[in-house]
Structure 1
Amino acid sequence: MSNRSTRFTPFFLAYGAEAVLPSDLDHDAPRVKAFDQDQTVEAQQDAVDLLEEDRETPIICFAHYQQTLRRYNERKIRGRILEVGDLVLRRTQSTKEKHKLSSPWEGPYMVTEVIWLGAYWLKDDNGNVLTNTWNIE
């Protein structure tokens, strides 16, 4: 079965030709019937000539597949602009004494200052300003 991202089978990517299965030989598959011993030398030379192209094609298909995935995922991302006074949650930095059902978020924190787009100073409920800036990205 061909790979979705490269459009080729792993066997083809490794050996440069599709595998002939024993069931193809037993049931006289069309490609087995079309095999001609006299043309194998010429077909082998053609395959060697096209080898570089056969190696580049999966790379191009894979790059196209990755670009399509990136476009799909970026479509779901919504940009956020925070202002002073907004309440936010922050991803937990330390996983010590946490278990798998613990919340990955801590807070709420209040935005006290916008340093630049995406970077903020936060303070907790007690009014303590955190020592490090917080980056929304």
Structure 2
Amino acid sequence: MVYGSEAILPTDLDYGAPRVRAYDEHGAKASLEDAMDQLDEACDVALLRSAKYQQALRRYHNHWVRDRAFNVGDLVLCLIQSNKNHHKLSPPWEGLYVVAKVLRPGTYKLKTIDNKVFINA
């Protein structure tokens, strides 16, 4: 194959090899267009399958997620985001914090028991 087409020897052209005699230019173009249409269709099918899988995965994940709402003054623990300087037996949670302010549902401003505002760095 040379850049998407087959190489033909000059002697095949001179003596009329069977594959040269059987070649139909119009049929080859139609076949190429059909192949391109099938490729586009296969890409569309793959895209739809991927979207369907993502929806099912999102639905499964959301099934197990429980909403929790905290109010001002509630005591909470904070998940450690960085494992730097922690070993595998370290607790995954840190501190005892107080909810200082509810910014929006699921987002809170925390402070320590000493009334120092917690900054997640």
Q: 77-86 vs 89-98, which deviates more?
A: 89-98
Structure 2: 5+ residue stretches without partners: 1-26
- Flag the 1:57–1:94 CA change in 2: closer, same or farther, 3 A: closer
Q: Determine the structure 2 residue equivalent to 1:53.
A: 41
> Given residue 52 of structure 1, which amino acid in structure 2 is its aligned partner?
D
Q: Percent identity?
A: 42
Q: Determine the structure 2 residue equivalent to 1:103.
A: 91
Q: Determine the structure 2 residue equivalent to 1:117.
A: 105
RMSD of equivalent CA atoms: 2.7
Q: Determine the structure 2 residue equivalent to 1:73.
A: 61
Task: Note the C-alpha offset of 1:124.
Answer: 2.1
Structure 1 length normalisation: TM-score?
Answer: 0.54
Is contact 1:121-1:129 (8 Å) kept? no
Task: Note the C-alpha offset of 1:91.
Answer: 1.6
Task: Note the C-alpha offset of 1:99.
Answer: 0.7
> Given residue 51 of structure 1, which amino acid in structure 2 is its aligned partner?
L
The structure with the larger Rg is 2
Task: Note the C-alpha offset of 1:132.
Answer: 3.1
- Flag the 1:73–1:94 CA change in 2: closer, same or farther, 3 A: closer
Q: Determine the structure 2 residue equivalent to 1:129.
A: 116
